[in-house]
Amino acid sequence: MFHAPCVRVQMRLRKMEALTGDACCQRTIRARLPPMRNPIIAALDVATAERALALAEQLAPVVGALKVGKELFTSEGPGLVRQLRATGAAVFLDLKFHDIPNTVARAVEAAVRCGVQMLTIHTSGGTAMMRAAEQAARTTADALGVEAPLVLGVTVLTSLDDAALDELGIGGGTAGQVGRLARLAVNAGLRGLVCSPLELRMLRAALPNHVQLVTPGIRPAGAGHDDQRRTMTPQEALEAGADWLVIGRPICAAPDPRAAAQRILAAGRF
Ligand code: C5P
């Protein structure tokens, strides 16, 4: 079981070791990462527990984690998350919390009690909300004696363009807003962000090295794009600075999901 998920993290660890001459630096960084097998997160975008568990049975031994989103969670609830965890898979709970700090902190606490390794919140909830979420993740994990999950900040939804932001009274365009919210998130103590493949290089250059970047919009070379307009291959995304790759349909809608995940892993240098 690897704690460092990909080449990028290993490169960062080597860089830090070279800078500090301190091998224990590697242990410190690794201790902050959830223990996941590889950087592939399979998005279980299905409506029923039956379908999700069938996919989990095939994918848990192969991928790094399984992502549960709003549809599946709203249909099947925390019991399913616990069942998925029982397969041995790490779980990314992608519910994008956005509320007053106390409410988000209590939701994060509940997610940690379900045993998830990653979860999402909206950075537009502000500094106090993000701090409360990160604090709740750490405190609850400490109390349970487990590793704190990565609380990932979502900046600007990829469905919003400059005109849509303008309508909301936010000037300066999406790139400016993504950068602003990302810095706010890191200053509030978040250790990771979700971003589109196109934002990877900009965020990697702007943020401290320890910040984990999770990106959807990944398509294996030669695969169809479905409704994703701007995609990268797994290798391109890792080279651009991604730590974790969210992949849905190319794995879960394949005739043999496990074989599809294995092909993606075999094609990359994970
Ligand atoms: O099937 P596909 O690989 O396109 O699925 C991508 C997953 O990542 C879906 O669960 C989708 O909701 C999620 N996602 C995304 N784009 C974002 C944020 C999340 O595609 N900007």
Least confident range of 14-18, 72-76, 201-205, 253-257: 14-18
| C-alpha of residue 216 to centroid of ligand 1, in Å | 5
Tell me the per-residue pLDDT of 162-217, one tens digit each, with 9 for 90 and over. 999 999 999 989 999 999 999 999 999 999 999 999 999 999 999 999 999 999 99
Closest-CA residue to 42 (of 57, 63, 25, 21): 63
Tell me the per-residue pLDDT of 44-64, one tens digit each, with 9 for 90 and over. 999 999 999 999 999 999 999
For the chain, count helices (H), then strands (E).
12, 8
Q: Is 96 a catalytic residue?
A: yes
Q: Could you give the count of Cα atoms lying within 13 Å of 150 in the half-sphere of its Cβ?
A: 30
The residue whose C-alpha atom lies closest to atom 13 belonging to ligand 1 is 216
> Can you state the percent helix, strand and coil of the chain, rounding each to 5?
50, 15, 35
Closest-lying ligand 1 atom to the alpha carbon of residue 194: 18
Amino acid at 156: V
| C-alpha of residue 67 to centroid of ligand 1, in Å | 10
The residue whose C-alpha atom lies closest to atom 15 belonging to ligand 1 is 216
The CATH number of 38-267, from 3.10.150.10, 3.90.470.10, 3.20.20.70, 3.30.460.10, is 3.20.20.70
3-state secondary structure of 97: strand
CB burial of 64-101 (b: ≥16 within 10 Å; e: otherwise) equals bbbbbbeebbeebebebbeebbebebbbbbbbbbbeeb
1: Cβ contacts below 8 Å, ≥ 6 apart: 35, 36, 37
CB of 192 shorter than 6 A to ligand 1: no
Pairwise CA distance, residues 48 & 95, whole Å: 17
Pairwise CA distance, residues 125 & 128, whole Å: 8
Pairwise CA distance, residues 245 & 230, whole Å: 14
The residue whose C-alpha atom lies closest to atom 3 belonging to ligand 1 is 248
* pTM: predicted TM-score of the whole model, two decimal places: 0.89
Q: Could you give the count of Cα atoms lying within 13 Å of 107 in the half-sphere of its Cβ?
A: 19
